[in-house]
Chain A
């Protein structure tokens, strides 16, 4: 296992797409390779912290959306 091979499989390792044997091999490599461990840790942290949260629509935007939908309803032929 080289650092290049580790780097090439980093996405699959993080995504859990690897076989148990391959996964173990890569994690073993990272345990003994400071650079690959830093790469894996930083990659994982970057993914973990990229969260959108539950941001609700701001009230003014919600009003704007309702106005837009109201205008569509006026122009709509409606069901039936």
Chain B
């Protein structure tokens, strides 16, 4: 067993502080990416850390400690969002492409941006993607945050969210397609 995990299991507060200090920036980023609200992210982080401390006894011998905290923070963010009035969400289904029997698209693909090398446009797009990411439906939002914002591996995300790796990939792909379509739609409407 990891020495730090052993100290945690002994409920050593200094060990917990050590772990929190190593992970707190990432945990805050996850909460912020999920909510796009600093106050909410702060509340979620506090709730998650309290829950982590209380549930140390449930820590598995082979658990990755960072992943364990990510899971608790992600769940705290989801619970926090469920308790709030629902914001408009993007439709994952609308982003699915349709094809005829010959394998040709039934609808053309709209471009996201005419000038991808334009740095001003890219900065605006990045900010918009962050906003749109928080509007992904539950089940997709947390996968997208952990994969494309925090760059966890598919295996780590699967472990964190309790999903099989193929399921993680499917959700991530659909989340990306949804964001791509939302950007293209906004560009078309501009």
Contact = CB atoms under 8 A, between A and B. Distances in A.
A2 B149 CA distance: 32
Contacts, number: 136
Contacts of B97: 4, 7
B148 A69 contact: no
Among A45, A46, A76, the one with the most B-chain Cβ atoms within 10 Å of its Cβ is A46
Contact of B102 (A2, A41, A52, A64): A2
B33 to A, nearest CB: 6
A11 B46 contact: no
Identify whether the interface residues of B are mostly helix, strand, loop, or mixed: helix
29 contacts: A3-B99, A4-B97, A4-B103, A4-B104, A4-B105, A35-B108, A41-B112, A41-B116, A42-B184, A43-B176, A43-B177, A45-B113, A45-B122, A45-B125, A45-B180, A46-B112, A46-B176, A46-B179, A50-B133, A52-B33, A55-B25, A56-B25, A57-B28, A64-B42, A69-B20, A69-B49, A75-B13, A76-B11, A79-B10
Interface of A: 2-5, 7, 10-11, 15, 34-36, 38-39, 41-43, 45-47, 49-58, 60-62, 64-65, 68-69, 72-73, 75-79
